[in-house]
Structure 1
Amino acid sequence: MNRRAFLKAIASAAVIPILPILPRRLLASTNFRRRRPSDATWPSQSAWKQLNEAVGGNLIPVDFPLSVLKTDPDGAVAKRLSMILADPYYIGDQPGLTQTLGWVDAWATQPSVYAVAARNAHDIAEAVNFASENDLRLVVKGGGHSYQGTSDAPDSLLIWTRHMDEIAMHPEFVPQGCEHTLQPQPAVTLGAGTIWIQAYDSVTTKGGKYVQGGGCATVGVAGLIQSGGFGSNSKHYGTAAGSLLEAEVVTADGQIRIANACTNPDLFWALKGGGGGTFGVVSKLTLRVHDLPEFFGVANFTVKASSDDAYRRLIREFVSFYHKHLFNDHWGEQTRMGSDNKLVISMVAHGLNLEQVKEAWQPLLDWVARSGSECSIKGRTVFGAIPARHMWDVRWMKEHWPEIAFPNPNGSFLIGLLDYGLLHLIPQPLVDFDSRPGAGPNNVWWKGDGGQVGWFIWGYESLWLPASLLEDGAQQRLADALFAGSRFSDIGLHFNKGLAGSPPDALAWAKDTATNPTVLTAFALAIVADGQGPAYPGMPGHEPSVVEGRKAAERIDRCMNQLRAVTGETGAYVSESNYFEKGFQQAYWGSNYPRLAEIKKKYDPDGLFFVHNGVGSEQWSADGFTKL
């Protein structure tokens, strides 16, 4: 009996519990190494043909679109490359590309040898079995947004879930096996290849409900949930992982399993924030859905200080203002503090109308007015509210704002925010559209997310900021640290990525995930990052600047050290953190790591699933090919 037949045979005995199996590779006298195409033991063409037949003809050789820079550097495609690399939908449709093209001194996107363009869990299981039996490096990609390149590896087999984008709404959902323990609740089931704009279109625009997902419209559903997952309204609803009710997942033994609170509950918990591509390949996810508020609001403006001393006072005032007026579950998104002595406000509100939005910010505007020449508002002051159901409704935007919803020369659309028919602000460009022929009408992305499409990272770090720093006796220390850090690099404070101030339900759901528990008592996540793009080694005119990148990474680290001086090592968010994160186990998962490590051993004893800085990755070489 071969290994696959054996696994299928034991899987049919449902009464037998899953037990840890001693990995056969640990018995080897030499270090185990996965196979590469240059090895004599690389699968034969007939073996690949059999895999292709097993997955219904969906095995494809992976092309590398950037290779045209060498084969035809002066051709039309090469000349257009920098433009199409700024389109996240184009990148998402290429199995050989990732949304981030690389990181200085860390990695650069490279294609797999073959990809299984999976249509269902059966295709995934066939790919998992083939990789396991042939000792191949396996990677999984849905949205492909990983900054750390976790869905990318040369000489590998790729499981590509892009086409698994089916969506089903459930007015009353009960996880399998939980019929006698859990009450029915509204939910949505999403295929692993679904991106968030598709989820919001179905759940909110068409369904009149809300699902907690990511703020970036083109991020993949599965990857975001497995890493924890924050969106603009996480301060109110909690993390995306906290909304997970059930997952269909293929584990390393090739079995298709259901994971929820009643069936395989340990695997279910690990999938809620334990890191994507680590415990198995998710094929479907079911999330709870929520009632929509009447409005989503927005506040956008910039305050400029005339001197360093004035900027210190501005930051101090903002910290106090935030604590008094915004430290609640209504407000999310971010502010930016930089060396240019500007405080940039880019925040959104849950459940507030236009007057309530304006009222919330009036104390800070009054303080700026009283400051005289020390501080002033630069540019437009934008306050608005939009009926929540139309937040991602592209057709509604075009129909209700005909005079301001039109393509401008660069292909973006100009839209405003509407408060029940009252246009309250000057239109500004908020979204960009996929301009490729035949592109779907909902292929849009927020303009503010455009900078991370096709970029090459110089440095990226994050740090949870504890709510204790908002107490009266600590506000000055926080303000001083923010000012000192801003001398080195811009600091983004993402208030929706810290759950202090959230409602009890949101905190309880988030607590029951693998995410670092520090998030429960953090009021924000500080992010400091820099990069360039589109950029890639060998792209004429768009080569990554290694020298500038190293300098930027040093500035970022010095900036973060100012914040660490007042927070300590509170941890980082796995999806938005340093590729070279020291002690990533503690930083990403805190006290949850030992439990995650045990679950990894149980469901993936041979380490088939490897991602950079993932659970169990310390047992492998940096490229995931050699067991240490």
Structure 2
Amino acid sequence: MGAIFLQVLVFASALVGLANGALEFESVQLKDNEVAGFPGGAFPKGKPKPSTARCKAFPGSDDWPSISEWRRLNASLDGALLNQDAPAVACYPGPSYDASKCSFLVNNASSTHYYIDDPISVLTTWPQGNTCLPAINPAGNCTRGGYPSYIVNATTVKHIQLAINFARNNNVRLVIKNTGHDFGGRSLGAGSLSIWTHNLDAFEYLPSFALGSYSGPAAHFGAGLEQWELFNQMILNNITIVGSGFKAIGANGGWFASGGHGSLASLYGLAADQALEIHVITADGRHLIANELQNSDLFYALRGGGGSTYGVVTSVIVKVYPPITMMETSIYIACNPPPDTTARARWAPITPATNYVNNTERFWEAMNIYFRFKKTIVDTHNVDWDYIYPLGPDSFSFRTRISFPALTVSQAADLLAPLYHQFSAAGFDFKPTNLTELSSTRLPYSGTSLTAPPGPAVGTANTRYRSRLYPRSNWENSTIFNSTISAIRYAVQTGGYIFHGLSYGPTLQVAGYPGNTSAVNPAWRNAVMHGALMTVQPTNLTPRQARDEQTTMAIYTERIRAVTPGAGSYMNEGDPGEKDWQGSFYGRDGTYERLLKVKKDRDPWGLFWARTTVGSEKWEVESLDGGDLYPWSQNGRLCKTEKEGKGKGKGKKR
């Protein structure tokens, strides 16, 4: 343990901030004279002039930058430009074949931090087009698909400024990638230049910070800091910061930009509610500071208004709280569990503490009781994470983890007592599981154990999500509540989908200052539960088969939409094909229109684009050969829609 402490202490002391409020990597910025002889990397002059081409430049097109231009960019970046193949190319015949690496990718990579630390990888395979998957004896050829053509391994603000300027000046598609923990296809794109912010991992604790109406402790950290690294900093500095429950997520990336939920959401609000100041590079290549006193439009948009569309965030200053303890309990319920299988072991572990029922109706009766209790969990500033798994005909399992921040064992036990009383009154002989104090190997709110690099194990999967923010009104009317449970049951029992529920109450009251001036989807403020249907698609489906499967999934989603009319959805775990995504992901109270104005003002070139981000309806990904795309994949050229398109640039419509 001493070696780990030493390693992280060195990390903390080496990456301190500078006196002017910037982190060390932010002090290295691009100067006009450095690009005087390099038009491709220059800042814009005069009135913005968006490209008249209908499509973004693409490898092989007449307007694609020459090799010499890419080399010039690399020289300006001091060698930070990467041209990397997909990892799985090691499994395919050819000059990059590597049996040892292929074996590692197939058998071991998912139990390591490999994919998070890889510049090109993302944790969901379908956005790439499923064209280069690891396998010992793979079928077909490995193509680049939706992976970017070039990657900037950004370690300074200057690197990001050059990447932005080069992409804008050359009409090249630009994408932003942090950890690659992305289920919506927003971290990659065919024919793109990718800005990889993973290594911007500086941290500084500010015991005294004052800005606007805030005065108190704060923390300043870079866009690439992962949650497990943030947890370690909490332990070292004896503080609490709102973070994610999953340790491989970036503490200041797409998770933060779309709200950012976690174990303290019902007590302190979302991650976006914590920001006091945000440092960002906009589409003109300039590095700006956004807070309530300056660039307030960006300060509003960057806190919950979605990522990859207003600029590249380099760092954020957030509120800091005193250290707290966190109590936890888990509940497992199984109905007719099948013989142990690999699938069950992966999705639904059955533990010795599992409560068993042998009747489908009784299982769903137990679900009704527990899901009613979610409102109590939220109203007492706690959270839960649960899953209902279909394991076969009339076979299901349920597991939940309830976290109680700032409560003692006796307080948490008293809160749970009514739940077990209701179980008992319904004839269930369920035994309460022990309440335990979380150690920092799980969450950082108690204990002194540091997590050692490389952190958590993370693998890839062909995951599809459809989510909904279930409003409080669904708990306040018994008829609507019963219809809600019926819709969830239909999706799990008949559709065979996993249901993932998370109970949070990030109201404006708990969010505090400056939460009421953010672009967080208003549906979060009135929600009791964020619930998602999940499935892992087979990777061998044809594009048409995959699209048909998505159409089938939509049938079950519609039942849930019917019992949550007008409710919203969490974009990071939402459907890229969501109907009325502007209202679902951003709100129906004028939030989207306000964000669209910020987008037009700050990015008149239309440089930043990702699916379902603000302003994205003006562009679409087109098949290169006129064929059928894998549903919502990024394996194609980015072009203006028929309504927006004009001028030169070829591209076939789907």
Same fold (TM over 0.5): yes
Quick one: which of 160, 168, 171 aligns to 2:196?
160
Letter in 1 for 2:189: A
Letter in 1 for 2:499: I
Residue 377 of structure 2 contacts residue 384 of structure 2 at CA under 8 Å; is this kept in 1?
no
Q: Structure 2 vs 1, CA of residues 173 and 547 (structure 1 numbering), >3 Å: closer, same or farther?
A: same
Give the length in aligned residue pairs: 546
Instruction: Point out the more displaced range, 221-230 or 605-614.
Output: 221-230
Report what 1:412 is aligned to.
none
Deviation at 1:478, TM superposition (A): 3.3
Report what 1:205 is aligned to.
235
Unaligned stretches of 5+ residues in structure 1: 11-20, 176-180, 399-439, 537-542
In percent, how many aligned pairs have the same letter?
25
Cα deviation 1:410-432 (Å, max 9, x = unaligned): xxxxxxxxxxxxxxxxxxxxxxx
CA distance in 1, matches of 2:128, 2:561: 24
CA distance in 1, matches of 2:321, 2:447: 23
Report what 2:405 is aligned to.
350
Report what 1:13 is aligned to.
none
Letter in 2 for 1:346: R
CA distance in 1, matches of 2:188, 2:42: 31
CA distance in 1, matches of 2:127, 2:50: 35
Letter in 2 for 1:444: G
Residue 50 of structure 2 contacts residue 606 of structure 2 at CA under 8 Å; is this kept in 1?
no
Letter in 2 for 1:287: V
Cα deviation 1:177-215 (Å, max 9, x = unaligned): xxxx4343211111111111111211x211111111221
Deviation at 1:95, TM superposition (A): 1.2
Deviation at 1:376, TM superposition (A): 4.9
Deviation at 1:9, TM superposition (A): 7.1
Q: Secondary structure at the match of 1:164?
A: coil
1:337 aligns with 2:375: no
Cα deviation 1:569-597 (Å, max 9, x = unaligned): 41211111012111111111113100111
Deviation at 1:544, TM superposition (A): 6.1
CA distance in 2, matches of 1:190, 1:626: 35
CA distance in 2, matches of 1:588, 1:578: 10
Q: What is the alpha-carbon root mean square deviation over aligned residues?
A: 3.1
1:176-575 equivalent positions in 2, closer than 5 A: 181-202=212-233, 204-220=234-250, 221-302=252-333, 303-323=355-375, 325-339=376-390, 340-372=395-427, 375-377=428-430, 381-386=433-438, 391-392=443-444, 396-397=448-449, 441-445=452-456, 453-457=459-463, 459-473=464-478, 474-487=480-493, 488=495, 489-496=497-504, 498-499=505-506, 502=507, 504-506=509-511, 509-531=514-536, 543=540, 553=550, 556-575=553-572
Q: Structure 2 vs 1, CA of residues 566 and 130 (structure 1 numbering), >3 Å: closer, same or farther?
A: same
Residue 228 of structure 1 contacts residue 515 of structure 1 at CA under 8 Å; is this kept in 2?
yes
CA distance in 1, matches of 2:189, 2:580: 23
Report what 1:83 is aligned to.
107
Q: Secondary structure at the match of 1:145?
A: coil
CA distance in 2, matches of 1:395, 1:183: 29
CA distance in 2, matches of 1:362, 1:107: 52
Residue 385 of structure 2 contacts residue 402 of structure 2 at CA under 8 Å; is this kept in 1?
yes
Residue 116 of structure 1 contacts residue 159 of structure 1 at CA under 8 Å; is this kept in 2?
yes
CA distance in 2, matches of 1:232, 1:364: 20
Residue 503 of structure 2 contacts residue 528 of structure 2 at CA under 8 Å; is this kept in 1?
yes
Q: Secondary structure at the match of 2:607?
A: coil
Residue 297 of structure 1 contacts residue 351 of structure 1 at CA under 8 Å; is this kept in 2?
no
Residue 492 of structure 1 contacts residue 527 of structure 1 at CA under 8 Å; is this kept in 2?
yes
CA distance in 2, matches of 1:349, 1:151: 34
CA distance in 1, matches of 2:285, 2:89: 34
Q: Secondary structure at the match of 1:185?
A: strand
Q: Structure 2 vs 1, CA of residues 560 and 338 (structure 1 numbering), >3 Å: closer, same or farther?
A: farther
Letter in 1 for 2:386: T
Cα deviation 1:290-325 (Å, max 9, x = unaligned): 1222334333332444323323432332244333x4
CA distance in 1, matches of 2:382, 2:183: 26
Cα deviation 1:466-523 (Å, max 9, x = unaligned): 1011125444333333334432333222102x43xx5714166444221221111111
Residue 136 of structure 1 contacts residue 157 of structure 1 at CA under 8 Å; is this kept in 2?
yes
1:112-123 equivalent positions in 2, closer than 5 A: 112-123=148-159
CA distance in 2, matches of 1:267, 1:49: 33
Q: Secondary structure at the match of 1:86?
A: helix
Q: Structure 2 vs 1, CA of residues 482 and 151 (structure 1 numbering), >3 Å: closer, same or farther?
A: closer
Unaligned stretches of 5+ residues in structure 2: 1-35, 133-144, 334-354, 622-635, 642-654
Q: Secondary structure at the match of 1:327?
A: helix
CA distance in 1, matches of 2:583, 2:359: 39
CA distance in 1, matches of 2:243, 2:116: 18
Cα deviation 1:197-246 (Å, max 9, x = unaligned): 111211x2111111112211111122211121111221111111111111
Deviation at 1:163, TM superposition (A): 1.4
Report what 1:426 is aligned to.
none
Letter in 2 for 1:121: V
Quick one: which of 56, 61, 70 aligns to 1:39?
61
1:616 aligns with 2:652: no
CA distance in 2, matches of 1:564, 1:338: 21
CA distance in 2, matches of 1:92, 1:388: 21
Q: Structure 2 vs 1, CA of residues 183 and 460 (structure 1 numbering), >3 Å: closer, same or farther?
A: closer
Report what 2:342 is aligned to.
none
Q: TM-score, normalised by structure 1?
A: 0.79
Letter in 1 for 2:382: W
